């Protein structure tokens, strides 16, 4: 693993690291903020999964998470959203290919060779983090924005016991019923829609739910509101009687101005779960 940069921030260290991935068969880059407490012992870890077109850098520089994580003594990791590089399949559209991995394991050509983002986030990167940094992997939580909110919710529900809490900013809630989902799931997983259901937060909520607290925020002025389908997730939460707080924030859109506005509340939400005995 190569250290690309390390900068002191809020008493801790914001690093950027690069490594050869055996899962995606290319070089992968991630950001990791370690609070000052990591010098003295393992600290809890919050995952932040980014949305379409993003790299590891977008949330790292725009979400404002480090200050609140430093206050709570929590590390936060910012993975990339897809494999990248020469020889990695891509598409002219912004919502497919590089920058749009959708946190699934692709089974279809030309995506299958590199686009194994579920295994990268669920298995390879956690193992690398545990081996390399002073992290308490028994205390993990996960959040994300848009496509990353979709990833956070589906990972949390399909990996029971891994995460103590899950939150999302403007998540894609029902991708099997949305143009933000049907296109990508069809391309990556093929025409058998039964294979898509494992990556739909609304369907997973109805089937298995999450053994812990859930928080989502979506702006009422979100320009992609109809694609996100928050009402579908709300109905599933109600039907299952899932512990959850699903909020609509008046006048907010899909941008990082929205994300940064509510980041303090999301970090505090996760800190309560991470430090609960």
Active-site positions read 146, 222, 254
Query: What is the rounded distance in angstroms from the CA atom of residue 176 to the CA atom of residue 193?
Result: 8
Contact (Cβ atoms closer than 8 angstroms) between residue 216 and residue 166 = no
Q: Is 49 left (phi over 0), alpha (psi -120 to 50) or beta?
A: beta
Q: Give the residue from 153, 168, 170 showing the smallest Cα distance to 254.
A: 170
Contact (Cβ atoms closer than 8 angstroms) between residue 9 and residue 32 = no
Contact (Cβ atoms closer than 8 angstroms) between residue 159 and residue 207 = no
Query: What is the rounded distance in angstroms from the CA atom of residue 160 to the CA atom of residue 157?
Result: 6
Give the contacts of 273 (CB within 8 A, at least 6 positions apart). Answer: 141, 164, 165, 212, 213
């Amino acid at each position: 693993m190569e250290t690309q940069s390390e900068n002191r921030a809020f008493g801790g260290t914001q690093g950027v690291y690069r490594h050869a991935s055996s899962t995606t068969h290319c070089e992968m880059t991630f950001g990791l903020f370690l609070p000052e407490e990591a010098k003295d012992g393992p600290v809890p870890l919050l995952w932040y999964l980014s949305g379409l077109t993003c790299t590891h850098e977008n949330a790292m520089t725009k979400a404002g998470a480090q200050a609140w994580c430093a206050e709570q003594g929590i590390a936060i990791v910012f993975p990339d959203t897809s494999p990248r590089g020469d020889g990695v399949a891509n598409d002219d559209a912004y919502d497919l290919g590089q920058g749009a991995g959708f946190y699934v394991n692709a089974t279809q050509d030309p995506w299958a060779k590199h686009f194994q983002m579920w295994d990268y986030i669920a298995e390879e990167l956690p193992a690398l983090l545990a081996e390399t940094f002073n992290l308490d992997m028994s205390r993990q939580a996960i959040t994300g924005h848009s496509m990353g909110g979709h990833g956070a919710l589906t990972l949390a529900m399909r990996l029971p016991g891994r995460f103590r809490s899950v939150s999302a900013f403007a998540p894609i809630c029902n991708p099997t019923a949305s143009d933000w989902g049907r296109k990508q799931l069809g391309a990556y997983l093929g025409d058998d829609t039964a294979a898509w259901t494992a990556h739909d937060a609304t369907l997973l909520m109805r089937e298995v739910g999450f053994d812990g607290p859930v928080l989502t925020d979506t702006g009422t002025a979100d320009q992609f509101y109809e694609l996100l389908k928050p009402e579908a997730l709300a109905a599933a939460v109600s039907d299952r009687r899932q512990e959850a707080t699903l909020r609509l924030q008046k006048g907010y859109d899909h941008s990082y101005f929205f994300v940064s506005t509510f980041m303090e509340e999301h970090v505090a939400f996760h800190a309560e779960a991470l430090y609960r005995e």
